[in-house]
Amino acid sequence: KIYYDSDANLDLLKDKTIVFLGFGNQGAAQAQNLRDSGIPNEKIVVANRPDHYAEDAKSKGFNVEHDFAKAAKQADIIFLLIPDQVQPRVFNNEIAPNLKDDACIVVASGYNVFYKLLNFKPSQDIVMVAPRMIGSSVRSLYVKGKGFPCFVSSEQDGTGKALELALALSRAIGATKAGAIASSAREETAMDLFAEQALWPNIIMLFREAFSVLKEAGCSDEALCYEMWMSKEPAEIFERAAEDGFIRQLKHHSTVSQYGQLNGALNLDGSAARAHFKDILYNQVLNAKFQQEFSKIEDDLEKEGDANPLEILYQKSEASELGQAEKRVRARLAGLLAQ
Ligand code: NDP
């Protein structure tokens, strides 16, 4: 189901105090959109620690509260727009104990709700309003009068009005203009983590191996980097896929290319990939194994240098033939790339 502006009633937000926890990518964009949709500024509170995010919110005219407990006490509706990995600690310790029994909690990602990491009361509404866009686009599309793709769901209907509220909030941030798609925290989390852990790792691996094979056959670093991604051709292909169709975009390619791609893809046996994908989906994502393992290293992600596991993954990945070649090419073509 797809919800449009006509499905959403902004009057439901009348007299509600709406708190934005976080004023980063999504927080800054959604708070401004909501205010520009007619929610009075005095009913909006940005809860943020005293730093440049808080200063940014103040400079945009928002009321900023540094004390999260105080902000939570006022909230009829609270958007959780701080990074997913810090939400459980901040929400469970500082927000949840101070929230009203009938408060509505809005998440922009299904992760913490699906994995049951946030302590809600049964009387509260839990809704997901999850833009499929980076924050700057959420704002710029709204300013242009356009909508943006967004998933919406009611995850817990404490007051009996959770979905209606979710739709009103979706409209207020500009998400129902182009149609907000009915979804769920489970679906959003499954697709998000599947893409991150199954689809894109395979794409990275395919590029890495393709690079090595072509390099072995005598292709130059420069030619390979440009041919494979630096020309931005893959970005154009995906843009065409969104506009014309995943397969139909091939019509923009040469006949040789169309034949090669369609015939090649049909002749590939996808059964090994399918088994691997199912393994990731069921044995990592849906059964929470990944989440449990990730939670063990979360604190290390704040560390500097080699103590940060993400840094080690970058080092290993960039040590590949592709990574090393790209480094050389970027150094040699620094002037050209800067133009
Ligand atoms: P950001 O990384 O931009 O969040 C930054 C904000 O979080 C700042 O206000 C920052 O303030 C605050 N913050 C960071 N750490 C803490 C902490 N330990 N305690 C309190 N506040 C903290 O987040 P995003 O906007 O990227 O993501 C917010 C939500 O939106 C997530 O659920 C994400 O999955 C979802 N989402 C994000 C998208 C995106 O494109 N980025 C797209 C769709 C959904 P300070 O550091 O001052 O505390």
Mean pLDDT of residues grouped by 10 in the chain (339 residues)? 97 97 98 98 97 97 98 98 95 98 98 97 98 96 96 98 98 96 98 97 97 98 95 96 97 97 98 98 98 92 93 96 95 80
The span from the CA of 219 to the CA of 10, in Å, is 59
Q: Is the CB of 86 under 6 A from ligand 1?
A: yes
Q: Is the CB of 68 under 6 A from ligand 1?
A: no
The span from the CA of 272 to the CA of 75, in Å, is 50
The span from the CA of 27 to the CA of 49, in Å, is 13
The span from the CA of 4 to the CA of 65, in Å, is 33
Cβ proximity of 17 and 43 under 8 Å = yes
What residues contact residue 176 under an 8 Å CB cut-off, 6+ apart? 3, 4, 5, 7, 8, 147, 150, 167, 170
The answer, yes or no, to whether ipTM is higher than 0.90 is: yes
Return the residue whose CA atom lies nearest to atom 47 of ligand 1. 49
pLDDT at 337: 73
Q: How many angstroms does the Cα of residue 24 sit away from the middle of ligand 1?
A: 5
Q: How many angstroms does the Cα of residue 268 sit away from the middle of ligand 1?
A: 41
Q: How many angstroms does the Cα of residue 106 sit away from the middle of ligand 1?
A: 13
Q: Is the CB of 25 under 6 A from ligand 1?
A: yes
Q: How many angstroms does the Cα of residue 29 sit away from the middle of ligand 1?
A: 12
Q: How many angstroms does the Cα of residue 20 sit away from the middle of ligand 1?
A: 11
| Residue 241 vs residues 74, 137, 203, 249, 330: alpha-carbon distances, Å | 45, 19, 17, 5, 29
The span from the CA of 278 to the CA of 252, in Å, is 33
Q: How many angstroms does the Cα of residue 46 sit away from the middle of ligand 1?
A: 13
Cβ proximity of 44 and 18 under 8 Å = yes
Q: Is the CB of 28 under 6 A from ligand 1?
A: no
pLDDT at 334: 81
pLDDT at 46: 98
Return the residue whose CA atom lies nearest to atom 48 of ligand 1. 49
Instruction: Find the DSSP H helices in the chain.
Output: 25-36, 52-59, 68-74, 87-90, 111-114, 135-143, 162-172, 185-194, 200-216, 221-225, 233-244, 255-267, 271-280, 289-297, 309-318, 321-332, 334-338
Q: What are phi and psi of 9, to 5 degrees?
A: -115, 105
The span from the CA of 222 to the CA of 151, in Å, is 41
Q: Is the CB of 162 under 6 A from ligand 1?
A: no
One-letter identity of residue 62: F
> Measured between alpha carbons, how far apart are the two ends of the chain, in Å?
46
pTM comes to 0.91
Return the residue whose CA atom lies nearest to atom 22 of ligand 1. 82
Q: Is the CB of 131 under 6 A from ligand 1?
A: yes
Q: Is the CB of 48 under 6 A from ligand 1?
A: yes
